[in-house]
Amino acid sequence: MKNPQLAGMAIAIGLLIGVPVGYHVNSVFTRGERALGQMSVDAEYSSFAILQYQQADAQRARQALLGFVNFSKQIDHLPDGQADKTLLTDVGLSYVRLARLEEQAGNPELSQQYVSLAQDSFKAAGRDYSRDDLMKRVSGL
């Protein structure tokens, strides 16, 4: 090409279009991959905690439920990661299960604390349950 200015402009226009497209496509892929990974891990840990609550002895059940609750707090540190409504609901239910375990173990004060934490978690998920509602769940779950 005899006119280097024209050649430079053609490449520059190409770059102007290409850079945002490449950046956007990679961001979409990476965010999708991360979201899928987070969903898988949430589901894996949550199912494990429920199964341990249903099948294991009280100590192991407690360990699994608390492990899941602590894990959900770490999720907030994930880039783009945040506790979504499903995770917050699962955390709320885990606190309800912990409350029930403590009630059965004769620790009413700790049970009450877990009910309060469950209430907070459900509230963050957009569900406002009264203490009485949750206490009914504690005895029925």
Shortest distance (Å) from residue 107 CB to other proteins: 19
Compare residues 7 and 123 and give the one whose CB is closer to other proteins.
7
Shortest distance (Å) from residue 82 CB to other proteins: 13
Residue ranges in contact with other proteins by CB under 8 A = 1, 3, 6-7, 10-27, 30, 37, 40-41, 43-45, 48, 51-52, 55-57, 59-61, 63-64, 66-67, 74, 77-80
Furthest-apart CA atoms within the chain: distance in Å: 89
Exposure string over 45-66, b if 16+ CB within 10 A, otherwise e? bbeebbebbeeeeeeebbebbe
Compare residues 78 and 105 and give the one whose CB is closer to other proteins.
78
Compare residues 46 and 119 and give the one whose CB is closer to other proteins.
46
Both structure tokens of 96 = 């309800």
Report in angstroms the alpha-carbon separations of 41 from 26, 47, 78, 87, 109: 22, 10, 12, 11, 32
Shortest distance (Å) from residue 4 CB to other proteins: 11
Shortest distance (Å) from residue 44 CB to other proteins: 4
